[in-house]
A and B are shown apart, each in its own frame.
Chain A
Amino acid sequence: MIEAIRLALIVFFVVVGLFFTFVSATGVIRLPDVFSRAHTASQADTLGAGFALAAVALTIGWETASIKTVLLLFFIFVTNPTAAHAIARAAYEEGIEPWTQGDERR
C-alpha cells in the first residue's frame, strides 16, 4: 500500500515537473522581451526543477543521497530567482526598453 502511494507520487512529481519545465521552455522561446523571459525562467523553471528533484528524493529513499537532493532543491529555490533578478536588472541598467503592447517582438 505505502509502496503504491510512493510510486504514484513519483510518477505525479515527474509529470508535473516536466509540465512546468515545458511551460518555462515555451515561455523563454515565445515571449517578446528579456524581462518577460526572465519572469518565466525564474518561476516556472524553479517549480519544475523542484518537482523533479522531489521525485528523485522519493526514489532514493532514506539515504544520505536524498538529503543531498533536498539541499539541492532548497539551493535551486533560493538561487534561481536571484539569478533571474540579477539578469533582468543588468538588462534594465544597460538601457533595454521593456516591451509594451504593439511593439514588435524581440
Chain B
Amino acid sequence: MTFVETNLVAGFTVGEFLLVAAALFVSLAVMMLYRAIKGPTNQDRVLAVNVLGTNTVVILALLGAALGEPWFLDVALVYALLNFLMAVAISKFTVERGGVI
C-alpha cells in the first residue's frame, strides 16, 4: 500500500483528497476566463492567463501526486517556464521602448 492510498477519514484516501482539491483548483482557474474574455485592456488578459497558468501548474502537480505519475512534474516545470516567458515576452513586445523589467 502506497502513501497515497492511506486512509484519511472514513474510507476517504489522501489521493482522493488531492483529486478533489485539483477539481476545486480547476473551477478557480475557469473563473479566470471571465477576466481573460472581458478585460478592458490587453494587460488584463495577459494577467488573467498568467494566473490561469499558475493554477494549471498546481493542478498538474496535484494530479501527479494523486495518480502516482511523477513525470507530470516535468510537464509542470516546462509549463511554468513557458508561462513566465509568455507574460514577459508579451509585455515586452507590446510596449514601444520595451524596457519592462
Contacts and interface: CB of A to CB of B under 8 A. Distances in A.
Interface in B53-71: 54-55, 57-58, 61-62, 64-66, 70
A18 B24 contact: yes
Contacts, number: 160
B49 to A, nearest CB: 10
Given A52-B21, A90-B92, A96-B41, A83 B28 contact: no
B85 to A, nearest CB: 9
Contact of B47 (A7, A10, A87, A89): A87
Interface residues of B, number: 53
Given A63-B70, A85-B101, A91 B41 contact: yes
A72 B100 CA distance: 24
B88 A86 contact: yes
Given A59-B14, A59-B18, 18 more contacts: A18-B28, A28-B35, A34-B47, A45-B51, A49-B58, A56-B61, A75-B80, A80-B50, A83-B91, A84-B87, A86-B88, A87-B43, A87-B91, A89-B91, A90-B91, A90-B92, A91-B43, A96-B43
Interface of B: 3-4, 6, 8, 14, 17-18, 21, 24-25, 28, 31-32, 34-35, 40-41, 43-44, 46-48, 50-51, 54-55, 57-58, 61-62, 64-66, 70, 73-74, 76-77, 80-81, 83-84, 87-88, 90-92, 94-97, 100-101
